[in-house]
Amino acid sequence: MKKILVPISFSKHSTIALQQAYSLAVQHNSILYLLHCCPAEHYNRPFDFGKQAYEDGIKNMLTDLFKQCSINNDKIDFQTIIAEGPVSHVLEKISISYNLIVMCRNVEKQSNTIVKLSDKLTYIISHSKCPVLLTHNYLQDFSFKNASKVWHIERKENEKEFIHSKLAKLGLTEKAITTKSIAQEKYSSSFWRNIINFSKSHNKSLLIKITESYKEEEIELIVFVMHQTNLFEQFIKNDIFSLLCQYQIPFIIFNKKKGE
């Protein structure tokens, strides 16, 4: 994993994503690429750098943000990328050149409700040409190799070999991975059973049971496989994905290309 890409909007969540990406870069000896997208029209740009060129001002801001992460003086290389246009469209074009995109989603305290991802984040995930790690705002430190309880949410048959191969390259062993199928009939996890039952019945009383049964789990990573962009975009918007998003669990989404 040599090239990690982090979209930076200078929001709280993009800063958290950078901190997580920095930690992973240290672990995997990766190069960090900090991407900032700005409007083509100068009058729509959110910052004013006076006589300094806008690109130079943004580059300095990105460099300062990177330095805030490097408190241990780790020798991590980084590069800045400044592009015009919506971040979703830019990432769709350039993601094929990277090994991982790191982004952060907002997780609020559980309130027995379903909060779906934004349309922008949904588009980015489902159109990325490389894996996307979706962290959350409570995550302190994350390590693939130290994740001992990983759920693979299987949506199509024959995903296991693909997933095990991809995760092995990140330092994860097969024994850490448990496959959960949307179509399964027998359950060893109350948390997963309640999620599936809610997706079928939409019985709101199950939302409380889901939160209670989550406390019995110690899931450190959830893995998804994207086979087709439009179908995965629909899956992101459904109850199963949305319910899992409420909890403090990082996701990684792999794009399975034809022939893999």
- pLDDT tens digit string along 129-161? 999 999 998 887 889 999 999 999 999 888 989
DSSP states of 139-158: -----STT---EEEEE-STT
pLDDT over threshold 80, residue 245:
yes
pTM above 0.75, yes or no: yes
Parallel, antiparallel, or unpaired for β 150-154 and 251-255?
A: unpaired
Domain assignments of the chain as residue spans, ordered by start: 1-138, 143-252+256-260
For residue 105, report the phi and psi dihedrals to the nearest 5 degrees. -110, 155
CATH for 1-138 (3.40.50.620, 3.10.450.50, 3.90.420.10, 3.40.50.2300): 3.40.50.620
- pLDDT tens digit string along 37-47? 998 888 888 89
Asked if 226 and 232 touch (Cβ cutoff 8 Å), the reply is: yes
Closest to 37 (Cα-Cα) out of 3, 88, 79: 88
